Amino acid sequence: MRLINSSLADRVGEIIEASTADFVAQCYELYELPPLGSLVKTKNGELDIYGIVCHATTGSLEPGRRPIARGRDEESEEAIYQSSPQLSKLLRSEFSTLVVGHKTGDSINQYLPPNPARIHGFVYQCPPDEIREFGRSLGFLTLLVNTNLPVAKEEIIPAALRLMSQAQEDSHSFLVAAGKELAVMLGGQYNQLKAILGRLK
CA 146 to chain CA centroid, Å, is 17
Q: Regarding beta strands 22-26 and 39-44, do their DSSP bridges make them parallel or antiparallel, or are they unpaired?
A: unpaired
Contact 156, 36 (CB under 8 A): yes
pLDDT at 4 over 70: no
Helix extents (H) in the chain: 6-9, 77-83, 87-90, 128-134, 140-146, 153-165, 171-185, 190-198
Residues 6+ apart with CB under 8 A from 87: 30, 67, 70, 80, 81
Instruction: Tell me the residue length of the chain.
Output: 201
Write down the pLDDT at residue 5: 56
Helix (H) / strand (E) containing 22: strand 22-26
- Name the residue among 59, 82, 58 with its Cα closest to residue 71: 82
pLDDT at 195 over 50: yes
Average pLDDT in the chain: 92
Tell me what the mean pLDDT of segment 155-171 comes to: 96
Of the listed ranges 2-11, 42-51, 164-173, the one predicted with least confidence: 2-11
| pTM, to two decimals | 0.90
